[in-house]
A and B are shown apart, each in its own frame.
Chain A
Amino acid sequence: MKHIFSAAVAASVLATAPVAANAKTLTAGFASEPTSIDPLYHNLGPNNALRKHMFESLVGEDENLKIIPELAESWGTTDPTTWVFNLRKGVKFHDGSEFTVRDFLYTACRIPNVPNSPSSMNSFIKRAETMEAVDDYTLKVTTASAYPLLLSDFASFGIVSASASGHDGPVTYKKDGCEGIASYPASEAYNSGEAAIGTGPYKLGNYTKGERIVLTKNDDYWGEAAHWDEILIRPITNDGARVAALLAGDVDIIEKPPVQDLDRLRADDKTNVVQGASSRVIYIHFDHESEPSPGISGTDGKNPLKDLRVRKAMSLAINRDLITDKIMGGLAVPARQLVPSFMRGYNHDIPMEKSNVEEAKRLLAEAGYPNGFNLVLGTPNDRYINDAKIAQAVAQMLSRVGIKTEVDAMTKSVFFSRRNKYEFSAYLAGWGASGAGMASPLRALVASQNKDKGLGGTNRGRYSNPELDAIVEEALATVDTEAHDDLLRKGSEIAVNDMAIMPLHYEVTPWATRAGLTITPRADQQTVLTTVRPTN
Chain B
Amino acid sequence: MLAYLIRRLGQSVLVMSVMATIVFFGLYMVGNPVDLLINPEDDLAAQEAAIARLGLDQPILVQFWHFLQGVVQGDLGTSFVHNQPALELILSRLPATLELAAFAMLLAVIIGIPLGMFAGLYPKSPVSKGIMAGSILGFSTPNFWQGLMLIMLFAVFWRVLPAGGRGETAELFGIPFSFLTLDGLQHLFLPALNIAIYKISLVIRLSQAGTAEVSLQDYVKYARARGLSTRRIVGTHILKNILIPIVTVLGLELGSVLAFAVVTETVFSWPGMGKLLIDSIGLLDRPVVVAYLMLTVFLFVVINLVVDLVYSLLDPRIRTKGKNA
Binding site for B on A (CB under 8 A): 1, 8-9, 11-13, 15-16, 33, 35-36, 41-44, 115-120, 122-123, 186-188, 208-212, 234-238, 240-241, 244-245, 247-250, 411-414, 416-420, 431, 434, 440, 444, 449-452, 454-458
14 inter-chain pairs at a CB distance below 8 angstroms, sorted by A residue, are: A8-B189, A12-B160, A15-B186, A119-B39, A119-B50, A187-B83, A237-B266, A244-B148, A244-B152, A412-B282, A413-B30, A414-B31, A417-B31, A418-B31
Check if A211 sits within 8 Å of B165, measured CB to CB.
yes
Check if B83 sits within 8 Å of A247, measured CB to CB.
no
Contact string against A for B residues 270-287, beta-carbon threshold 8 Å, 1 for contact and 0 otherwise: 010001100100111000
Given A43-B42, A123-B46, A244-B156: A11 and B82 interface contact (C-beta under 8 Å): no
Q: Give the nearest-CB partner of B92 in chain A.
A: A209
B231 contacts the other chain (Cβ, under 8 Å)? no
* Residue of B44, B185, B282 with most partner-chain A CB within 10 A: B44
Q: Give the nearest-CB partner of B266 in chain A.
A: A238
Check if A245 sits within 8 Å of B269, measured CB to CB.
yes
B109 contacts the other chain (Cβ, under 8 Å)? no
> What separation, in Å, do the CA atoms of A44 and B83 have in the docked complex?
15
Binding site for A on B (CB under 8 A): 30-50, 53-54, 78, 80-84, 89, 92-93, 111, 148, 151-152, 155-156, 158-166, 176, 182-183, 185-186, 189, 266-269, 271, 275-276, 279, 282-284
Check if A116 sits within 8 Å of B182, measured CB to CB.
no
CB-contact partner of B164 in A208, A244, A411, A419, under 8 A:
A244
Check if A244 sits within 8 Å of B282, measured CB to CB.
no
CB-contact partner of A248 in B46, B78, B156, under 8 A:
B156
Check if B42 sits within 8 Å of A123, measured CB to CB.
yes
**7 closest A-B pairs (Cβ-Cβ)?**
A417-B31, A248-B155, A210-B271, A454-B43, A118-B37, A416-B35, A248-B163
Check if B269 sits within 8 Å of A234, measured CB to CB.
yes
Check if B40 sits within 8 Å of A240, measured CB to CB.
no
New contact pairs (16) apart from A9-B158, A240-B267, CB-CB < 8 Å: A11-B186, A12-B161, A16-B162, A33-B279, A116-B78, A234-B269, A236-B269, A237-B275, A248-B162, A250-B155, A412-B36, A413-B30, A413-B36, A414-B31, A444-B41, A457-B43
Which residues from B are CB-within-8-Å of A1? 111
> What separation, in Å, do the CA atoms of A116 and B42 have in the docked complex?
16
Given A12-B186, A237-B266, A420-B35: A210 and B275 interface contact (C-beta under 8 Å): yes
Q: Give the nearest-CB partner of A156 in chain B.
A: B41
CB-contact partner of B50 in A8, A120, A419, A431, under 8 A:
A120
Which residues from B are CB-within-8-Å of A419? 35
Which residues from B are CB-within-8-Å of A36? 82-83
Which residues from A are CB-within-8-Å of B35? 413, 416-417, 419-420
Check if A416 sits within 8 Å of B31, measured CB to CB.
yes
Which residues from B are CB-within-8-Å of A212? 165
Check if A240 sits within 8 Å of B44, measured CB to CB.
no
Check if A244 sits within 8 Å of B82, measured CB to CB.
no
Check if B185 sits within 8 Å of A416, measured CB to CB.
no
Check if B162 sits within 8 Å of A237, measured CB to CB.
no
> What separation, in Å, do the CA atoms of A376 and B36 have in the docked complex?
23
Which residues from B are CB-within-8-Å of A123? 41-43, 46
Which residues from A are CB-within-8-Å of B54? 116, 118
> What separation, in Å, do the CA atoms of A450 and B45 have in the docked complex?
9
Within the complex, the shortest CB–CB distance from B304 to chain A, in Å, comes to 29
Within the complex, the shortest CB–CB distance from B77 to chain A, in Å, comes to 11
Given A1-B111, A451-B44, A457-B41: A241 and B50 interface contact (C-beta under 8 Å): no
Check if A454 sits within 8 Å of B32, measured CB to CB.
no
Given A247-B156, A416-B36: A237 and B78 interface contact (C-beta under 8 Å): no
Within the complex, the shortest CB–CB distance from B217 to chain A, in Å, comes to 30
Within the complex, the shortest CB–CB distance from A403 to chain B, in Å, comes to 28
Given A208-B271, A237-B266: A449 and B44 interface contact (C-beta under 8 Å): yes
Check if A43 sits within 8 Å of B82, measured CB to CB.
no
Which residues from A are CB-within-8-Å of B45? 451-452, 454
Within the complex, the shortest CB–CB distance from A457 to chain B, in Å, comes to 4
CB-contact partner of A456 in B34, B44, B160, under 8 A:
B44
Check if B32 sits within 8 Å of A248, measured CB to CB.
no
Given A118-B81, A451-B44: A43 and B39 interface contact (C-beta under 8 Å): yes
Which residues from B are CB-within-8-Å of A247? 155-156, 163
Check if B31 sits within 8 Å of A119, measured CB to CB.
no
Which residues from A are CB-within-8-Å of B152? 244
Which residues from A are CB-within-8-Å of B161? 8-9, 12
Which residues from A are CB-within-8-Å of B37? 42, 44, 118-119
Within the complex, the shortest CB–CB distance from B94 to chain A, in Å, comes to 12
Which residues from B are CB-within-8-Å of A457? 40-44, 46-47
Which residues from A are CB-within-8-Å of B160? 8-9, 12-13
Which residues from A are CB-within-8-Å of B271? 208-211
> What separation, in Å, do the CA atoms of A116 and B82 have in the docked complex?
9
Given A116-B83, A416-B35: A248 and B151 interface contact (C-beta under 8 Å): yes
CB-contact partner of A451 in B43, B155, B156, B275, under 8 A:
B43
> What separation, in Å, do the CA atoms of A372 and B283 have in the docked complex?
38
Which residues from A are CB-within-8-Å of B43? 123, 444, 451, 454-455, 457
Which residues from B are CB-within-8-Å of A440? 41
> What separation, in Å, do the CA atoms of A43 and B44 have in the docked complex?
15
Given A41-B83, A120-B49: A420 and B42 interface contact (C-beta under 8 Å): no
Check if B53 sits within 8 Å of A116, measured CB to CB.
yes
CB-contact partner of A250 in B34, B162, B283, under 8 A:
B162
Check if A241 sits within 8 Å of B284, measured CB to CB.
no
> What separation, in Å, do the CA atoms of A248 and B49 have in the docked complex?
45
Check if B279 sits within 8 Å of A186, measured CB to CB.
no
Within the complex, the shortest CB–CB distance from A350 to chain B, in Å, comes to 24
Check if A244 sits within 8 Å of B151, measured CB to CB.
yes
Which residues from B are CB-within-8-Å of A235? 269
> What separation, in Å, do the CA atoms of A44 and B38 have in the docked complex?
8
Within the complex, the shortest CB–CB distance from A459 to chain B, in Å, comes to 9
Within the complex, the shortest CB–CB distance from B308 to chain A, in Å, comes to 32
* Residue of B38, B161, B163, B284 with most partner-chain A CB within 10 A: B163
> What separation, in Å, do the CA atoms of A11 and B283 have in the docked complex?
39
> What separation, in Å, do the CA atoms of A98 and B214 have in the docked complex?
79
Given A119-B38, A210-B271: A15 and B47 interface contact (C-beta under 8 Å): no
Within the complex, the shortest CB–CB distance from B67 to chain A, in Å, comes to 16
* Residue of A8, A236, A420, A454 with most partner-chain B CB within 10 A: A8
Check if A411 sits within 8 Å of B282, measured CB to CB.
yes
Which residues from B are CB-within-8-Å of A412? 36, 282
Q: Give the nearest-CB partner of A211 in chain B.
A: B271
> What separation, in Å, do the CA atoms of A186 and B185 have in the docked complex?
35
Check if B41 sits within 8 Å of A186, measured CB to CB.
no
> What separation, in Å, do the CA atoms of A357 and B189 have in the docked complex?
58
> What separation, in Å, do the CA atoms of A11 and B168 have in the docked complex?
14
Which residues from A are CB-within-8-Å of B83? 36, 41, 115-118, 186-188
Given A13-B160, A240-B267, A241-B267: A44 and B39 interface contact (C-beta under 8 Å): yes
CB-contact partner of A417 in B30, B48, B49, under 8 A:
B30
Check if B283 sits within 8 Å of A413, measured CB to CB.
yes
Which residues from B are CB-within-8-Å of A208? 176, 271
> What separation, in Å, do the CA atoms of A412 and B283 have in the docked complex?
9
Check if B151 sits within 8 Å of A420, measured CB to CB.
no
Within the complex, the shortest CB–CB distance from A294 to chain B, in Å, comes to 17
> What separation, in Å, do the CA atoms of A16 and B155 have in the docked complex?
12
Which residues from A are CB-within-8-Å of B186? 8, 11-12, 15
Which residues from A are CB-within-8-Å of B148? 240-241, 244
Q: Give the nearest-CB partner of A449 in chain B.
A: B44
